[in-house]
Structure 1
């Protein structure tokens, strides 16, 4: 993980925008991706990081997660990326087990989109 992505996470945590356990969970998920050879940088994973931290925080805070108007379109785009969808489901399951936060299908789909983009990045 590069310094800029580490800074992003630190700013979310220190600014009180996310719970420490959420920042820890997301950091661990990013480390796993990196351990698998993925390039995890601000450029490749910044949006994934912010989206997942904010979604988990909203869920833990009891804030509603709205369905997106583009859910069907996103799901259709994901048909070519079954591995990203499966990984998003596993992340969601780990979030439920570790944090008690159950991501709705729309959030799983958006997470899968981020993961599909990350999978297309060159590995190191």
Structure 2
């Protein structure tokens, strides 16, 4: 993870927008992606980072997460990236274990899209 992305996480945490355990969980997930050879930078993972932190924080705060219908375009995009969907589901399982906050299906789909983009921006 690059310094700018680490700063993003720090700012979300220090400003009180996310709980410390959410910031730590997301940082760990990003570090795992980087360890697998993914290019994890502000440019490639900034939106993924913000989206995941805010979704997890809303879940922990008991706020409803609006369920979005997965439209045909999203479904088609995800069909081409089964590894991203599998990774998103695994993140949800880890979030449930670590934070008590599994992601709803719509959030898993959005996370899958972010992970697919990250994979496309990383060396093969």
TM-score by length of 2: 0.95
**Counterpart residue number, 2:17:** 17
Name the CA distance, whole Å, in 2 between partners of 1:89 and 1:75: 15
Q: CA separation in 1, counterparts of 2:101 and 2:11?
A: 22
Distance 1:24 1:97 in 2: 14
1:39 counterpart residue number? 39
Rounded to whole Å, the distance in 2 between the matches of 1:4 and 1:120 is 20
List structure 1 segments (4+ residues) > 3 angstroms apart after TM superposition. none
How far has the Cα of 1:94 moved from its partner?
0.2
Distance 1:38 1:62 in 2: 32
Distance 2:14 2:22 in 1: 12
RMSD: 1.2
CA distance in 2, matches of 1:95, 1:75: 23
Cα distance between partner residues in 1 of 2:62 and 2:122: 37
Matches within 5 A, 1:66-85: 66-69=66-69, 71-73=70-72, 74-85=74-85
TM-score, normalized by length of structure 1? 0.95
Consecutive unaligned residues of structure 1, counting only runs of 5 or more, are: none
Report how many residues are paired: 123
Unaligned runs of 5+ in 2: none
Contact 2:39 2:123 in 1 (8 A): yes
